Structure 1
Amino acid sequence: MSFTYQQALEFLNTLQSKGIRPGLKNIALALARFGNPQFQFPAVHIGGTNGKGSTAAITANILKTAGYKVGLFTSPHLHSVRERIQINSQHISQADFASMVKEIKDGLSIDLTYFEFLTLMAFFYFAQNKVDIGVIEVGLGGRLDATNLLLPKVTIVTNVHLDHQHWLGRSLKSIALEKGGIIKYNTPFITGVKQKDLISLLQKICKLKNASFYQIGADIRYRRGKHGFSYFGLKRHLSHLKLGLKGEYQIKNATLALGAIEVLEKVGFTVKDKHIQKGLKSVSWPGRFEVITSSPKVILDVAHNPAGAMALKKNLSSYNKNLVLILGIMQDKNIKKIMKILAPLAQIVIVTSPQTPRAAKAELLSNIAKNYCSHIKIIPSVSQAITTALSIATSNDLVLVTGSLYTVAEAREALRLRCLGK
């Protein structure tokens, strides 16, 4: 009996009710049932509070440019679940997606969550398609994340900030321990963590596991210039590099990716300077300080926690424009702190709620925003918030949509439909 893409989506959506269930027992049993596909390709494993998806995208694009067949597994997705599983920048096809969901569903009696099922599916798909390497983003935390049964060639933790405290612990130290759980024995580790006490903690884990420790600012460095940036690595020194992603924090993510490339070269991967240059310049990662239009300038950014909001604020400092800010934030996030960082930058704040039960009510956001901006508008739907912002903004203004991936996803779709309607 045929199994359609729509049926596959409907089955996967039934798994959403299982929620988040940290632990490796069930995913380990499921992977074993399908021949442990995670051991059938080398991998780069990337965790961290912010920037892990961008770092994964940059790493994968450089390796693809160098001629390798590269699997990329990321989460969450903006518009389609197929975005999460890619080979050489191509999303898994609807037909392959449906057939793999059916094969795994029919061959498995183990109870998996939505994310565990997709992790198994990605690893199985990469193994079946004989990728040269997989670039794998951690879903949540690290130690008990479903992706943590890999045996990677290099691991990365981009940074550690407060987020998902319900699952990872209330302190930065506890969160760092969870994220440091991806460090493997005898496997090089790279980090962009800045806090001295957390660096010391991660160094201790590496020492216990005989894992080489490399840190931005010490072992690998970058310097931003007027026309790009320079990279000072373990052996490489590259100048006048241009990155397809905007924002200084993306240069830091690119530096982590370049560190990983240098580690991979030690185990047989060949990547020339020209591949790095082209891979950096051509990379794209939607929703991360993404400029959609120029008049007025519309920017989308998925900053969903205080650290992400601070990075976004820093990027905005180079824009001398009146700001119309559209904010939609999840109710389980640190709304007050995100608002305190971003709302004072705006002349007008439009609060809204994307279509998910996790979203904070626009009225709640409005009550908090009033402390930081005198001009607040409550617009319940994201698409209508976009229409309102564009009707208010002049051609010289900046419209920024942020606060959540859900908000950005709905805004991107609304802007796409708006462009099609013109």
Structure 2
Amino acid sequence: MRQNITLSKRVFRRIDHRVLAVLSFAYVINCVDRANISFAHLSMNADLHLTEADYGVAVGIFYLGYVLFELPSAWLFKKIGAPRTFSRIMILWGLVGMAMFFCTDKIQFYGLRFLLGVFEAGFSPLALYVLSLWYPPEKMGRAISIQQIAGPLSGVLVGILSGFIITTMHDVWGIHGWRWMFVIESLPAVCLGVWILFFLPAGPQEATWLNTEEKIFLKNRFYLSNEQTVRSANAFSAIHIRSLFMLAVPFIFIVCGNDIFSFWLPHFIQSTHIQSNMHIGFLSSIPYLFATCVMLIAGRLADTALSIRKNLCAVFCLIAASALIFLAYDSKSLISVLACSTIGLASLYGAYVVFWTLPKSVMINPPSSTDFAAINTCGMIAGIVCPIIVGKLATQTGGFALSELGTALLMFCAAAFLTIPYKKTSLNNTHKI
């Protein structure tokens, strides 16, 4: 028994270092490249003659590209494996991010945002799927919380780094700081993409850093082998499975809540009469710092309370809804904006990490890469519509109160939906990949 415990600790310590750490770092870069537009638009809007509505459309266009190519990306993953898939995704999105340096008008801006969505498509759900191959259900909460903690950590990083680059590199060689920001923050994606191609294993049995005993341990305990038996990956049938529907609906609402903070938090802070990009970047990092702590706690709770994961996710949604209501009531005070944004964002990240532990709890058969992609695609559809509506309302009303109240209502709906009881479902149609 003691020997098995020692072996288990050794195996998962290696997996943490060789797989989890790499995917976590990749996710940091992913979130930075996706969210840095929220800082660029504080000065970029004037250069490209963009309104808040135009900015909202650009955010939505990113998700349109993501949605259209997410399932194809999942299918390609099954053909070429994890290393080539993640390498392709990261190198291409890094190059598109760097191309923002040359953007001169609204049409080019829209086109590059669409391409960024196309090339990023599949990264997040496929990373979660890969983790599910290496970690059993009782360890998934911890693994997901560590990997997804990259989200709020990137918020801290992008706030401080983007504000610093935009301010200090403004007019270097006569070029505005926001252009330099895109180049500098996109370059790491290309570098890590090349590294992943050569060093990330396709699966546990291909890991050269695991010996035969350790591979047998994984195969016996977690049913991981070269020929894994999984459910049929028919995307259209998977989307209509009741259990996936019950997961997709609340996830749509959670994405809406996350987007309003991710893409407009710097603007919320600027509306309190803070004008320095450096100060806005620093203040924007505070909510993400607290969100990092909440995600770690949420992951631990999800692992120790398997039976109440859905209820725990619902509680986080209710807290986020309350924060959005208070933010709509008082959005001119810096203290109020920071407090509400911190509570709201931290709760949404807590809901997010608990949510992604649910697929293994809901489905009897192990969820496939297509299942993760299908759920995530539904959330990304919300990402198309929500930013456009927020931008339109902000342009027409001159504020974000209506958007915040509407998003709060969606969070209440998410909590209600998560409390609906339903049985696990199983799909018996299997094949080998």
Measured against the shorter chain, the TM-score band is under 0.3
Higher strand share: 1
TM-score norm. by structure 2 comes to 0.26
TM-score norm. by structure 1 comes to 0.27
Which structure would you say has the larger RCO, counting Cα contacts within 8 Å and 6 or more residues apart? 2
